């Protein structure tokens, strides 16, 4: 089978110099998706090499910088932390054609990292798109995963059964209609139409407290010009909004796998994120491993709870890893 070589750019290393709170050494691994050649994925690898593994996955429009206050807490507990940058984000390669990014490829790329590093007994920590991507990797290779901490994440399937379950509606209705939260549509249209996208605008709008200019600039660091932003734009376009969307089909398949997942599954959602509110209840009801667990609500935090309550989230993850 022939493989397509994706044209990519790499953000210059100078863009990542002296970012506040991010004094971690970079690590890289070549990853592949079906039908494409290898691309380079960046990841953090902190803590003892023989420690239990926490895999911290980010979403849109962030990168591993999001976890900078979570990582030290976990390392202090003897945990090995792997925090990748999705392809198109952070220090990872950035394909320049928007349609080179697909949901399936994001899953393949992350699976390639997990297999390439031979990670086992993984504690998956998933936020935002880290859930759909990470849960789908788990669905394909569940024996590598020991437990899950779901934090402000979703798994959109457009299932009609989600009606009235989510604060931000996204579900099918009848045979051929869909109910969408207006904010979802506004968000998607803005990312496709805006002449310039800045990650910091989205991060700053979804935290409970103001972020410093230096921190906001760190979120923009991976995207110094338009050639670097194809993945930033396209990930929002991958949101599955109908039952016919390929992403919804992947989500339904992944949900079936989660409905058979009996290892610990703990939700750690914030109290200030309407975009994901309701999903914690859905997961608690549908995932067998969520039954009887000590689920957590993190107060005073928005969608990006790592910014608002990073050390607290780190303590929750460490507790889950020590007690389940």
- Concatenated DSSP letters for 85-142? PPTTSTTS-EESSGGG--HHHHHHHHHHHHHHTT--SEEEEEEETHHHHHHHHHHH-G
Break the chain into its structural domains and give their ranges: 8-323
In CATH terms, the superfamily for domain 8-323 is Alpha/Beta hydrolase fold, catalytic domain (3.40.50.1820)
Q: Name the DSSP class of 17.
A: T
Phi, psi of 128 (to 5 degrees): 55, -135
pTM: 0.98
Q: Is 303 a catalytic residue?
A: yes
**CA–CA separation, 13 vs 77, rounded Å?**
30
**CA–CA separation, 153 vs 288, rounded Å?**
18
Confidence of residue 1 (pLDDT cuts 50, 70, 90): low
Looking at residue 153, its pLDDT comes to 98
User: Do 227 and 96 form a contact (C-beta atoms < 8 A)?
Assistant: yes
pLDDT in tens, 245-303: 999 999 999 999 999 999 999 999 999 999 999 999 999 999 999 999 999 999 999 99
Over residues 34-45, mean pLDDT: 96
**CA–CA separation, 66 vs 64, rounded Å?**
5
Strand stretches in the chain, DSSP E:
8-9, 27-31, 39-46, 53-57, 80-84, 94-95, 122-128, 145-153, 170-173, 177-180, 265-270, 296-298
User: Do 68 and 21 form a contact (C-beta atoms < 8 A)?
Assistant: yes
Query: What residues form DSSP beta bridges with 122?
Result: 53, 145
Over residues 56-84, mean pLDDT: 98
Torsion over CA: 212, 216, 217, 218 (sign): positive
How many CB atoms within 10 Å of residue 4? 10
- Among the options 42, 58, 171, 303, which is catalytic? 303
If you search the block for the tokens 């949901």, which residue do you land on? 103
Q: Is 77 a catalytic residue?
A: no
pLDDT in tens, 134-187: 999 999 999 999 999 999 999 999 999 999 999 999 999 999 999 999 999 999
How many CA atoms, within 13 angstroms, populate the side-chain half-sphere of residue 222?
Answer: 25
Q: Is 58 a catalytic residue?
A: no
pLDDT in tens, 301-310: 999 999 999 9
pLDDT in tens, 88-109: 999 999 999 999 999 999 999 9
Mean pLDDT, all residues of the chain:
97
Confidence of residue 3 (pLDDT cuts 50, 70, 90): confident
**CA–CA separation, 200 vs 185, rounded Å?**
20
b/e code 205-220 from CB counts within 10 Å (16+ = b): ebbbeebeeebbebbb
pLDDT in tens, 204-236: 999 999 999 999 999 999 999 999 999 999 999
Residues with Cβ within 8 Å of 253's Cβ and at least 6 positions away in sequence, in order, are: 136, 139
- Among the options 93, 100, 108, 128, which is catalytic? 128
């Amino acid at each position: 089978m022939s493989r397509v070589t994706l044209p990519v750019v790499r953000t210059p290393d100078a863009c990542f110099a002296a970012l506040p709170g991010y004094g971690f050494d970079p690590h890289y691994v070549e990853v592949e998706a079906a039908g494409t050649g290898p691309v380079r994925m960046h990841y953090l690898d902190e803590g003892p090499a023989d420690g239990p593994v926490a895999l911290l996955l980010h979403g849109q429009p962030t990168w591993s910088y999001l976890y900078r206050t979570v990582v030290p807490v976990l390392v202090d507990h003897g945990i090995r932390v792997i925090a990748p940058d999705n392809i198109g984000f952070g220090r990872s390669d950035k394909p320049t054609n928007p349609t080179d990014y697909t949901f399936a490829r994001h899953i393949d790329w992350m699976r390639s990292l997990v297999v390439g590093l031979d990670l086992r007994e993984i504690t998956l920590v998933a936020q935002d798109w880290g859930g759909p991507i990470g849960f789908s990797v788990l669905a394909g290779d569940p024996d590598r995963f020991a437990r899950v901490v779901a934090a402000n994440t979703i798994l959109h399937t457009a299932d009609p059964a989600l009606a009235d379950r989510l604060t931000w509606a996204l579900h099918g209705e009848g045979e051929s209609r869909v109910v969408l939260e207006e904010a979802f549509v506004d968000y998607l249209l803005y990312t496709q139409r805006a002449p310039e996208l800045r990650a910091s605008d989205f991060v700053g709008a979804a935290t409970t407290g103001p972020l410093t200019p230096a921190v906001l600039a760190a979120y923009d660091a991976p995207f110094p010009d338009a050639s670097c932003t194809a993945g930033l734009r396209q990930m929002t376009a991958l949101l599955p909004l109908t039952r016919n969307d390929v992403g919804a089909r992947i989500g339904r398949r992944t949900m079936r796998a989660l409905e058979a997942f009996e290892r610990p599954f703990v939700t750690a959602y914030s109290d200030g994120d309407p975009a994901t509110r309701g999903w914690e209840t859905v997961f608690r009801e549908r995932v067998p491993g969520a039954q009887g667990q000590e689920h957590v609500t993190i107060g005073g935090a928005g969608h990006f709870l790592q910014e608002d309550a990073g050390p607290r989230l780190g303590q929750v993850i460490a507790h889950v890893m020590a007690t389940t």
